[in-house]
Amino acid sequence: MIPQRHYEKPLRETPFHPRTAPLNRLQNWGAWAGYMTPSCYGDSAMEHTGIRNTATLYDISPMIKYRIRGPEAADYLNRLTLRDAARLPVGAVHYTAWTDDAGQVMDDGTLFRLGADDFRLCCQERHLPWLLDSAWGFDVTIGDETDRIAGLALQGPVSATVLAAAGFDVSALKPFRLATFPLSAGEVTISRTGFTGDLGYELWTTPEDALVLWDHLMAHGAPLGLVPTGTDAVMLARTEAGFLTTNLDFIPAQQALREDRTRSPLELGLGWMIAWDKGPFTGRRALMAEREGKTSRWALVGLDIPGNVSAEGSILYHGKRREAGFVTAACWSPTLKRNIAIAHVAAKYADCRDLWVEIYALRELQYHKLMLPVTKTERPFFAPDRRRATPPGRF
């Protein structure tokens, strides 16, 4: 038998593939960081319903994961990222981002503090050369552990109940905190984090224990309504939550071919995370000049749109005539019963007055142009109290 050549199967399988593949009735797969992951198992609308009403499992193993260790790990991360890593307690997580020297965002992600000198940085894109270059002069070691960590997102109002039934007591676990539990011969780390804007957790273990974890959760969770979910449903949920996605809502600075395509954290609404007083960090000088000179070119806004036709990819106009921005993510929200959008708007139109969106609605093979007024609204669009309640409610 001739062995399979690498180019005949360019996408790798995650540690959960032996379970997700038989469940993927549509054989609907997507590519994520070199791995194949289910886009939809059978019905994305029902999978989204699971996120908002019961509990769902989503394979997040392809997420890029870097381990950063050493006596100067916190100092290094303070130089690399926007937030103050030194203030992050052991056993906690925070959302952060990092920029190039020009103050343009390269990526965002979550930073886990596993020990006093031990961190894990999770993100969408690969950055090892940048991380290594940025580590010059710091006593740290940096390694890519993406292949060595299997991850599941357990999201939805019943997620804490599922964990309790499986023997994992997370009742005292606050948002953005983590705890470790025994699993088979190893262990699983559970963080109260997620990408759906709902009550939820992320579970991290070794590839060897991946199937044990999946089977254990499904055995105890299926009677409570636990179902697997694919990327399509998760992306709908993240839009409802108003979360950003790399290469969908912004182009990483290191990948942009056109200078005007990059964005600063101030232009992406991430200025709140910048720890201006922590000392030097990459991009600080450029960001201070932007802040003090009020030179931001763009503003990221949330929008309400009349009707129920998604405005994704649409152009925004001021006074119906002058181009003023564009929509990067949009949907008719089944949860909110609202037509919502995330959009980039030129800074001078950031108040969104007299702003209109041009939507081409496909109706029986013909496109109809709709010019609709938009209303600026706060993000997140969906933010239920249950996502932060501690102990979590029993659903």
pLDDT value, residue 92: 98
pLDDT score recorded for residue 2: 59
Shared domain for 143 and 154, answered yes or no, is no
Domain edge (last residue) among 171, 197, 229: 229
According to the model, what pLDDT value does residue 301 have? 98
**What CATH number should be reported for the domain holding residue 169?**
3.30.1360.120
Is residue 29 in some structural domain? yes
Q: Are 34 and 11 in contact (CB under 8 A)?
A: yes
Question: What are the helix (H) ranges across the chain?
Answer: 17-23, 44-53, 73-80, 128-134, 159-165, 210-221, 231-241, 284-293
Global model pTM greater than 0.85: yes
In a domain, 390, yes or no: no
101 lies in a domain? yes
239 domain-assigned? no
Q: Which of 229, 248, 272 is the last residue of a domain?
A: 229
164 to 7, 356, 392: CA distances (angstroms): 43, 48, 11
pLDDT of amino acid 64: 98
Strand locations in 283-321 (E): 298-305, 315-318
Q: For residue 202, say whether it is annotated as part of any ligand binding site.
A: yes
Q: Which of 261, 16, 35 is nearest to 126 (CA)?
A: 35
Q: Is residue 240 part of a domain?
A: no
Are 327 and 312 in contact by the 8 Å Cβ rule? The answer is: yes
Q: Domain end: 147, 179, 209, which one? A: 147
Q: What is the CATH number of the domain that holds 311?
A: 2.40.30.110
- In the chain, how many domains are there? 3
Q: Are residues 130 and 197 in the same domain?
A: no
Look up the domain containing 124 and give its range: 64-147
Q: Residue 9's pLDDT is what?
A: 76
Does 395 fall in a domain?
A: no
Same structural domain for residues 23 and 56? yes
85 domain residue, yes or no:
yes
Residues 175 and 310 occupy one common structural domain = no
pLDDT number for residue 115:
98
Question: In what order do the strands lie in the sheet containing 366-373?
Answer: 366-373, 355-363, 315-318, 322-333, 338-346, 298-305, 375-377
The SS3 call for residue 368 is strand
* Residue 156 and residue 207 in one domain: yes
Do 117 and 185 reside in the same domain of the chain?
no
Could you tell me the CATH number of the domain that includes residue 103?
A: 3.30.70.1400
Are both 33 and 102 inside the same structural domain? no
Residue 340 is assigned to a structural domain of this protein: yes
Strand, helix or coil at 291? helix
Does one domain contain both 14 and 160? Answer: yes
Contact yes or no for 228/154 (Cβ under 8 A): no
Whether residues 101 and 125 share a domain: the answer is yes
112 and 174 fall within a common domain: no
Q: What is the pLDDT along the chain (395 residues), one digit of tens a residue?
A: 556 566 677 899 999 999 999 999 999 999 999 999 999 999 999 999 999 999 999 999 999 999 999 999 999 999 999 999 999 999 999 999 999 999 999 999 999 999 999 999 999 999 999 999 999 999 999 999 999 999 999 999 999 999 999 999 999 999 999 999 999 889 999 999 999 999 999 999 999 999 999 999 999 999 999 999 999 999 999 999 999 999 999 999 999 999 899 999 999 999 999 999 999 999 999 999 999 999 999 999 999 999 999 999 999 999 999 999 999 999 999 999 999 999 999 999 999 999 999 999 999 999 999 999 999 999 999 999 999 999 998 88
Q: Do 125 and 94 fall within a single domain?
A: yes
- Burial of 198 from C-beta contacts in 10 A (0-12 / 13-18 / 19+): buried
For residues 105 and 214, membership in a common domain is answered with no
